[in-house]
Amino acid sequence: MPATAPPPADPDLVTEAVALTRMAGEATLRWFRDASLTVDSKGDGTPVTQADREAERLIRRELEARHPDDGVLGEEEPETPGTSGRRWILDPIDGTKAFTHGVPLYSNLLAVEDAHGIAVGVINIPALGETVWAGRGRGCWCNDEPARVSEGSDLATAYVSTSGLGPWSDEAILAVQGSGASIRTWGDGYGYVLVATGRVDAMVDPRAELYDLAPMPVVLAEAGGRFSSLDGDEGDPGAGSGLASNGHLHDALLSTLGGAARAARA
C-alpha cells in the first residue's frame, strides 16, 4: 500500500504565519541602518542585536496569545514546550551580520511543524519587500505570485549561492568551481528565496541550525525543488547542513560535495 500523503496545511495558518513574519520584519526595519544600534556577541561568537531580541519577543507574544498550547523554538530565547503537537520555529533575523552592516539581504524566518513535519514556511526579506512562503499542498508564493525553481540541469552553467565561504573546505570550493558552477555569496535566507523563485539554481549551507533551515523543506518542495542535508537526508532541517536546489542538479551537486569531503579525508 502506498503511504498516505500528509494533509495540506491549514490556509488560515499559512496566512497567519506570513502576517507574523512580516510583522517581525517591520520591527527590524526600525533598527536597520540605525547608528544607535548596539551589536553584542553571544557565547558562540555570533552577533546579536536589540532588533533580533525584539523581533523574537514580538512573535512569541503573539503566539502566546493566539496559540498558547503550541511549542516555540527560537534562536534568542529558550524553547517553550507545547502540548498541542504543533511547534513554531523562528529566526528573528537570519543574516545578522548583513543586518548590522546595512546590507538588505537579511531575512526573518518562521516555520510551523506538525506531526507530519514542516507544514508552513515563510522567508521574509523586509528591506527588499519580498516574502516567499509555502504551505504543504498549497504551493509556493512570492508576494502573491506563484514561485517556481529554475529548469537548469547542467551543473557547469549553474549558479550556486552560499552564506559565506568560511565554513567550506578548500576541497569543496575547488570541486564546485571545477564543475563549472559559479559560486555567489547571496546567502542566508535570501539564498533560498533565490532558489525558490528560479533566480539561482542551488543554495549550500555547510553548517546551519534548525531555526536557520526550518522553512526550507516545504518552501523548496512546493516550488518544485529539493531540500536535503549535505549527507543527503531529504527534508530534515535539523541535520546541521542544508542543500536546496531546483531538483535537476541536486544529485550532481551532492556528489560533487561528497567527493570533495572524501578526498579531504583521504
Q: Tell me the binding residues for Mg(2+).
A: 75, 91, 93-94, 212
The DSSP-derived string for 103-128 is -TT-EEEEEEEETTEEEEEEEEETTT
Taken as a whole, the chain contains a residue count of 266
DSSP 8-class letter at 9: P
Distance in angstroms (rounded) separating the CA atoms of residues 82 and 114: 11
Residues at the binding site are 75, 91, 93-94, 212
Containing 261, the helix (H) or strand (E) segment is helix 250-265
Distance in angstroms (rounded) separating the CA atoms of residues 34 and 49: 12
Distance in angstroms (rounded) separating the CA atoms of residues 245 and 227: 7
Distance in angstroms (rounded) separating the CA atoms of residues 164 and 183: 10
Find where cell 536535503 sits.
228
Q: Residues 100, 206, 46, CA angle at the centre, nearest 5°?
A: 30
The answer for residues whose C-beta is within 8 angstroms of residue 24's C-beta and 6 or more apart is: 55, 56, 58, 59, 90, 92, 108, 110, 124
Distance in angstroms (rounded) separating the CA atoms of residues 191 and 121: 15
Distance in angstroms (rounded) separating the CA atoms of residues 107 and 126: 7
Residue 3 burial class via C-beta count within 10 angstroms: exposed 0-12, middle 13-18, buried 19 and up: exposed
